[in-house]
Amino acid sequence: MKYEIEDKGRFKMVHIIGNITPEVSTSVLDEALSDLIRQGVHNFVFNLERTTYLDSSGISIFIHCLCDVQENNGSIYIIAEENDVREVLRLVGIDRLIKVYGTEKEFLEAQKVEV
């Protein structure tokens, strides 16, 4: 797994590339997110358009981040196309906690983000 973080208006967009599995350490991303939260960033969007596989370790990243940002009235969103990754999100019910958009364009328009 690789990741890239970019500014999108008031959000930090986290592009996750490749597989998110226990074999691939997610602690580096988790620590990077924690650092950003400590610096005052409280609005994130996880772009999973280039994520090829997702398991419970990925879900835990989203839940951990959600808990941390909600303490500061922040928010997180997920972008996931209709594929196996989106199906995992549905199966575990994450889409009942976190709003999931189908494309980056859909997210940007819905959140009125100017880039």
Each residue's pLDDT tens digit, 56-103: 888 999 999 999 999 999 999 999 999 999 999 999 999 999 999 999
Domain count, the chain: 1
Question: pLDDT value at position 23?
Answer: 66
Q: What percent of the chain has pLDDT over 70?
A: 97
pLDDT for residue 107 is more than 90:
yes
Question: pLDDT value at position 56?
Answer: 85
Position 115 in a domain: no
For 76, the enclosing helix (H) or strand (E) is strand 75-79
CATH number of the structural domain spanning residue 50:
3.30.750.24
Give the distance, in angstroms, between the CA of residue 28 and the centroid of all CA atoms in the same chain: 14
The answer to whether residues 54 and 89 touch, using CB atoms and an 8 Å cutoff, is yes
Position 38 in a domain: yes
Instruction: Answer positive or negative: Cα dihedral of 8, 51, 58, 106.
Output: positive
What's the chain's average pLDDT?
93
The answer to whether residues 59 and 35 touch, using CB atoms and an 8 Å cutoff, is no
* Structural domain range at position 12: 2-110
